[in-house]
Structure 1
Amino acid sequence: MPPQKGKTPTKGAKQILMENTATVSFYRNMAIAAGLTYNLLAFTLFAESLSYGVIFLDVFVVIIYLGCYQMMVYISRPKYTDSNQLVDPGLDLNMEGGMGEHVKDIVILSSITHVLALISNYFWLLLLLLPIRAFWLLWTNILGPWFFQEAPEDTEQDEKKRKKMERKMKRYQ
């Protein structure tokens, strides 16, 4: 399919606000459903086999849910004027490559891990993908380009300065 010609369409402030509200509620409901499913089944059916480590991981995932929910609410908070007019709808949570996308990925991974941990405790190891992904993003966006950036090329002004310095050095010799 050929690329579209002209300017790419943008979303309006009200559309971003509505989509952000729907996104926050969807991921909140996903986290609540996964958390309730795990906690109800684990503490009713498998209560005698729960260890402190599993309870710690359960609480850890619930803290992840709360942190991600608060982050999504905070970054998508709209700003209004005194006359209650929408000035800024907040950050678009559905923007590709944005901060909202990463937070949503964390909620999805945590929810999948939470539900799969009912099958086996080894599924808790999926949470190790979070720091791996964080390091990958850090490397590709910040560290990698910083380490491997090319040296700046000599500009015409730098060339003139170098020649001037050479003439001065020859004069003093």
Structure 2
Amino acid sequence: MAPQQKGKQGTKGAKQIVEENKTTLTFYRNMAIGCAAPALLLSFLVFEVTKTSVFMHILSLLILGSSYQFMAFMSQAKYSESGALLDSGNDLNMEGGIAENVKDLIILTSGTLLLALISNYFWLVLLLAPIRAGWMLWGSVIQPWLSQRNAQDDNPQVDEKKQKKMDRRMRRMR
């Protein structure tokens, strides 16, 4: 176990971010291929091929491919003509970033592909992705917007009371 670091976490250099992004992309590419290939082979060679299984496998492959391409696009580094690093791209290993959610989606889809070999009911696990997206949308956009709107509706009454109080004080001062 690594010792606990005291104080602020050190910043990463641009070259370190590029290298870590490459290893992260390689890991998640290997995970996606390592789960999709055996799942496809086993399900189509050993098990019965149905419309549902074909559709769900195509959907899973689209999710895996688009997620990987999105991460690759996010982390694309920019170099000058002389080969110097201009921009390291987004850090895929940053906590709380969108890449973290995309990595979770790859893990969820890969696990679902393997679990679907046991039973077709495991395809329902993929419904966790839109449920999580809705939950995140509620927590970060909708609920704050509604509570801000309610707070604005309550404030004019308070402001009117404060205004009346200020008017009374001003009358006393005269």
Question: TM-score, normalising length from structure 1?
Answer: 0.82
Aligned to 2:130: 131
Q: CA deviation at 1:38?
A: 0.5
CA distance in structure 2 between the aligned counterparts of 1:126 and 1:52, rounded to whole angstroms: 18
Aligned to 1:16: 17
Aligned to 2:171: none
Compared CA separation, residues 75 and 2, structure 1 to 2 (3 A): closer
CA distance in structure 1 between the aligned counterparts of 2:25 and 2:72, rounded to whole angstroms: 7
Aligned to 1:171: none
Secondary structure class of the residue paired with 1:106: helix
Secondary structure class of the residue paired with 2:12: coil
CA distance in structure 2 between the aligned counterparts of 1:119 and 1:16, rounded to whole angstroms: 39
Q: CA deviation at 1:2?
A: 8.8
Q: CA deviation at 1:88?
A: 1.2
Query: Which moves more between the two structures, 144-153 or 10-19?
Result: 144-153
Compared CA separation, residues 89 and 2, structure 1 to 2 (3 A): closer
Q: Tell me, yes or no, if structure 1 residue 43 matches structure 2 residue 41.
A: no
The one-letter code sitting in structure 2 at the alignment partner of 1:57 is M
* 1:23-172 correspondence runs (5 A): 23-46=24-47, 49-149=48-148, 150-151=151-152
CA distance in structure 1 between the aligned counterparts of 2:96 and 2:36, rounded to whole angstroms: 27
CA distance in structure 2 between the aligned counterparts of 1:13 and 1:101, rounded to whole angstroms: 19
Q: CA deviation at 1:3?
A: 7.8
Q: CA deviation at 1:102?
A: 0.5
Compared CA separation, residues 54 and 148, structure 1 to 2 (3 A): same
The one-letter code sitting in structure 1 at the alignment partner of 2:113 is H
Secondary structure class of the residue paired with 1:148: helix
2:6 pairs with one of 1, 4, 7: 4
Secondary structure class of the residue paired with 2:86: strand
Give me the identity figure in percent.
48
Q: Please, which runs of 5 or more residues in structure 2 have no aligned partner?
A: 168-174
The one-letter code sitting in structure 2 at the alignment partner of 1:4 is K
CA distance in structure 1 between the aligned counterparts of 2:72 and 2:115, rounded to whole angstroms: 27
RMSD, matched Cα = 2.3
Question: TM-score, normalising length from structure 2?
Answer: 0.82
Q: CA deviation at 1:53?
A: 1.1
CA distance in structure 2 between the aligned counterparts of 1:148 and 1:80, rounded to whole angstroms: 45
Secondary structure class of the residue paired with 2:61: helix
Q: CA deviation at 1:142?
A: 1.2
